[in-house]
Structure 1
Amino acid sequence: MCTVVIRVPEPGEGPVRLLAVRDEDPDRGWMPLGENWPDRPGVVGVRDRRAGGAWLAADLASHRLAVLLNRRSPEPPDGVQLISRGGIPLDAVAGIPIAPTAATAGFNLVTVDASGASVLTWDGVERGETRIPPGTHMIAHEGLDDPATARIAAWRDAFALAPTDGPDWFVPWLEVLRASAGVDPDDERAIVRDNRPLGYPTLSTLLCAASTSADGIDVRYAEFAEPGHWDAVTLR
């Protein structure tokens, strides 16, 4: 149940800004943001140690970034074994078309480049793709700006009002995250989350902030000292 906040400017009016909070089982190891794929020079991201894929990846040369979020989907058909989705962000930043199958669990894939951003959705049955319009948006485990997703209903306006200018553009958004931690981490409105009471072994473990334009891409990373609980993180 990860969360992405994204601000897409009007054409020619600045970089795309993105803040992504990852929810994962803390016992499932990962490699922090870095050049974690020797066979993919110039690609940085957060690598899953178990399957080798990415949660978030960025190609520094093409200025393209992709981040994958779980999406609700039905159980796979009988006899179908689910495969890892970790290759999807890596393919996306390489410009390889994404073609999920019945063996792929549902996902939302947010892709950003110098021209803007899009979200590719797969619910286990149907594939869809939408260009994200200018403005400030949120996405989690359902559709873009889904009003029935409590954290989006609670916090999207606050993110929209927060300025994102200058080299420390992400600081006002971190302030919104801090404010959102005023609700319990198992509250449906929480962004920094503890999903165990909902039946999932996942907690918010880390976050990344990225700024993408024709001039380049800058990606920063921080981990929460205690999964599922806000602390004053420093993005590096």
Structure 2
Amino acid sequence: MCTVFVSVDPGSAVPVLVLAVRDEYTDRGWLPPGRHWPDRPGVVGGLDLDAGGTWLAVAPGAGREAVAACLLNGFGHTADPQRRLSRGGLPLIAVSGQPVDQVERYDPFHLVVARPSGVRVVSWDGSSVEESELPAGLSAILNDGPEGRRSSAACPPGILATMNARLARFRARLQAAARPEPASGPPEVAWGPWLPIARGDGLPPDDPAALIRLLTPPGGRVWGSVSLSLIALSREGIRYDFGAVSEHGPSPRVGLETVLDRTVLSTSRERTPMDKEPSAESLAEMGAQMEAWLVARGHSPSIPASTADAPKWQRDMLTVLSAAEAAGVLRKCPHLTPEPQPAAVMAEAPDLLLCLPCYSEVLPRRVCPDCRKPSGSASLEGGVEDVRRGPLLIYSRMRCAQCAWLKSPTGPEGTFGA
């Protein structure tokens, strides 16, 4: 039972605001927002590990209007199982500016497509498509459509009552609060009075009106709110704040982090470790540091190889990495400074630079880029890690043992540097 609130104010410096809560089975695997799709390097979104799509995607713009797309499941007639396509591909299609073809192959959905110039909702109930433009003011989109007006007959009465309670409570709370105009700064400053409301407004997760919800049926899968997204769209750019629901106690916790902040494009972007040209001495010193670090972790010593000889997985990483750097949205851990220093980049998140200690910490949580399932281990005996070493960066791909053997004719590539 996902919920999206959209505020449209054409006269505001930030004309479109989106508040989106994702409800899902809590054991369904996912990754936080990033550039997870090499064929769409300009798209940022969370990754669903089951089907490879997303529930929400944004495209910063890069010379055109920024756009965000959010997906809600709908009610109605389901698609033919033999021809069914995953609905998680719809936000990726929408932010790429492509039309949604073969709609009959999707289960019912509501797709919210937001730009600074306006917001439209595409709804499909398995029988017909309906498109609508959201008016100025505050609108709500639920699993039974904009303002709960579509497919209500197919919605179970219990779920309908819960959606109506949530809508009544939080529409009134958001309308009573001052509308923010998010700019640069921490989420608490940018979103002002909206933030505590978006985080649940103090309601326990079992309250019928709760925005941050948790349902634990006897002997069944746990269903609840797993993440919160806050998006601000202006003519100058886009801001995207994201947080996972970490606790479902009496007061659920949602810690927000800024994924994208392109709201001030005229100022200099934050510098990255690739912004300063290192000296030959610095390169040699960093190369020695990375080599010693890799060997200490059990990797083979590096062997000379040119960039032209890089495998496809490394070239795909470089494509996304370069696009993110050019767009000014390259992410990095807080320990990296503008000075040249060793860093690591992972195949499953090629727009994120990590210092070596942080890279070590995330190893147990890594995901196989082929099947998008856990790699199995942070050690070389479990997940199989392929490594290439450049002058400043360690490029790493860790696949689960099954993919490493099945997808390489001669078995795993092993651990080699370049």
Q: 1:177 aligns with which of 177, 198, 206?
A: 198
Deviation at 1:225, TM superposition (A): 0.8
Match of 1:162 in 2: 177
SS of the residue 2:103 aligns to: coil
Go from structure 1 to structure 2 and tell me whether the alpha carbon gap of 1:20 and 1:179 turns closer, same or farther (over 3 Å shift).
closer
Matching of residues 68-217 of structure 1 within 5 Å: 68-76=71-79, 80=82, 82-99=84-101, 101-146=103-148, 149-163=164-178, 164-167=180-183, 168-178=189-199, 180-182=201-203, 184-197=204-217, 201-217=222-238
Q: Does 1:234 align with 2:236?
A: no
Counterpart residue number, 2:45? 45
Q: Which moved more, 1:13-22 or 1:48-57?
A: 13-22
* 8 A Cα contact 2:13 2:234, kept in partner: no
Query: Structure 2 stretches of 5 or more lacking a match?
Result: 150-159, 184-188, 259-418
Comparing 45-54 and 190-199, the one that deviates more: 190-199
Structure 1: gaps spanning 5 or more residues: none
Tell me the CA shift for residue 174 of structure 1. Answer: 2.2
The structural deviation recorded for 1:201 is 4.6
The residue number in structure 1 matching 2:55 is 55
| 1:84 positional shift | 0.9
Q: Which has the higher contact order (CA 8 A, sep 6+)?
A: 1
1: CA distance, partners of 2:126 / 2:117:
29
Q: Does structure 2 conserve the Cα–Cα contact (< 8 Å) formed by 1:80 and 1:103?
A: no
Contact 1:80 1:102 in 2 (8 A): no
Could you say which residue in structure 1 is the equivalent of 2:241?
A: 220
Question: Is 1:11–1:115's contact at 8 Å kept on the other side of the alignment?
Answer: no
Q: Distance in 2 between matches of 1:21 and 1:50?
A: 19
Contact 1:193 1:203 in 2 (8 A): yes
Contact 2:14 2:182 in 1 (8 A): no
Compute the displacement of 1:37 (Å): 1.0
2:23 maps to 23
Distance 1:219 1:192, change over 3 A: same
Letter in structure 2 aligned against 1:170? W
Amino acid at match of 1:191: L
Query: Aligned partners of 1:15, 1:136: CA distance in 2, in Å?
Result: 12
SS in structure 2 of the partner of residue 233 of structure 1: strand
Relative distance call for 1:141 and 1:197 in structure 2 (3 A) is farther
| Residue-by-residue CA offset, 1:18-62 (whole Å, 9 max, x unaligned) | 111111112111110111111111110011112111110011124
Superposition CA RMSD, Å: 2.5
Other-structure match for 2:309: none
Alpha-carbon spacing, 1:174–1:12, altered in 2? closer, same or farther (3 Å): closer
Q: Under a length normalisation based on structure 1, what TM-score does the superposition of the two structures give?
A: 0.88
Residue type of the alignment partner of 1:89? P
Q: Give the Cα separation in 2 of the matches to 1:15 and 1:108.
A: 22
The answer to whether the Cα contact below 8 Å between 2:200 and 2:211 also exists between their aligned partners in 1 is: no
Equivalent pair of 1:139/1:152 in contact (CA under 8 Å): no
Distance of 1:151 and 1:111 partners within structure 2: 22
User: Structure 1 residues 179 and 58 mapped into 2: Cα distance closer, same or farther (>3 Å)?
Assistant: closer
For residues 69 and 140 of structure 1, the distance between their equivalents in structure 2, rounded to whole angstroms, comes to 7
Q: Distance in 2 between matches of 1:90 and 1:214?
A: 21
Q: 1:177 to 1:197 in 2, by over 3 A?
A: farther
Contact 2:241 2:256 in 1 (8 A): no
State the Cα distance separating 1:99 from its structure 2 match: 3.6
Q: Deviations over 1:93-142 (max 9, x none)?
A: 01111245343111111111121111111111111110011101111111
Deviates more, 1:29-38 or 1:156-165: 156-165
Structure 2 counterpart of 1:185, one-letter code:
P
Does the CA-based 8 Å contact 2:243-2:254 persist in structure 1?
no
Percent identical: 37
Structure 1 counterpart of 2:181, one-letter code: D
SS of the residue 1:21 aligns to: strand
Change (3 A) 1:211 1:166: closer
2:308 paired residue number: none
Provide TM-score, normalisation by structure 2: 0.52
Larger Rg: 2
The residue identity in structure 1 corresponding to 2:140 is: M
